[in-house]
Amino acid sequence: MKAQQLQVYGGELIDLWRCSNCKQLWPQPDMAERCCVCEGCGKTKASREAGSRRCSECFTVHLLEIDRKQLEEATELTNYTGPVCIGDKYWESLEKMLDGLDPNEVPDFVHTCDINHYNLDVGTIIEELHEQAGLEDSQSLGGIAELAAAVDKFNETNADVVWWSLDHSTKVSTRINKAGIGGVS
């Protein structure tokens, strides 16, 4: 990309360079030159991609590459029955994933997921309030026992509500499980 140095009225040059593609300003000419050039393929990025280092195609390839590496290094679990994940898609189980995907789309391995609960903690809530206010922990607030009771009730009510997050460290084979050896029951 061409870097255009700015000048103030009267012709004096100032230390700001503009990317000729998206018009963003940079403090160094080489930064303006690199601004809209994709780090992956070297092509000029579309203006909607200006904020990222790669064009959207290279970004997708990059994510797949990270995912492939992580899967390669992950420890294989052989009798896992919990939720699984590919990229940003999650399934309740490997079986559900195999049902929902075209067999050609199924990779050899998929990531396993952690199962998380919505669990509030009164201590953390109060600590955050103190932090926001810039106060010491010793600052006394009233109504904490009542809040604790309400939080307990909230946690109890939502005990069965879960959310999944990808666990990068473990994986499960889709082939073993497809063949029924791996313990998906």
Give the interface with Zn ion as residue ranges (CB under 5 A).
19, 21-22, 24, 35-36, 38, 40-41, 50, 55, 58
d(CA 167, CA 84): 9
Which residue, 64 or 135, is less far from Zn ion as judged by CB?
Answer: 64
CB of 55 to Zn ion, least distance (A): 3
CB of 51 to Zn ion, least distance (A): 9
Which residue, 40 or 107, is less far from Zn ion as judged by CB?
Answer: 40
Helix (H) or strand (E) holding 89: strand 89-91
How close are the terminal C-alpha atoms of the chain, in Å? 56
CB-CB contact of 112 with 173 (8 Å): no
CB of 36 to Zn ion, least distance (A): 3
Q: Is 159 helix (H, G, I), strand (E, B) or coil?
A: coil
d(CA 156, CA 164): 19
Which residue, 53 or 178, is less far from Zn ion as judged by CB?
Answer: 53
Which residue, 36 or 113, is less far from Zn ion as judged by CB?
Answer: 36
DSSP-assigned beta bridge partners for residue 90: 85
Helix ranges, 26-159 (H) = 29-34, 56-73, 94-100, 122-133, 144-157
112 contact partners, CB below 8 Å, separation of at least 6: 77, 80, 82, 83, 84, 85, 167, 170, 171, 172
CB of 35 to Zn ion, least distance (A): 3
Which residue, 17 or 109, is less far from Zn ion as judged by CB?
Answer: 17
Which residue, 50 or 125, is less far from Zn ion as judged by CB?
Answer: 50
Q: Is 116 helix (H, G, I), strand (E, B) or coil?
A: strand
CB of 24 to Zn ion, least distance (A): 5
CB of 15 to Zn ion, least distance (A): 18
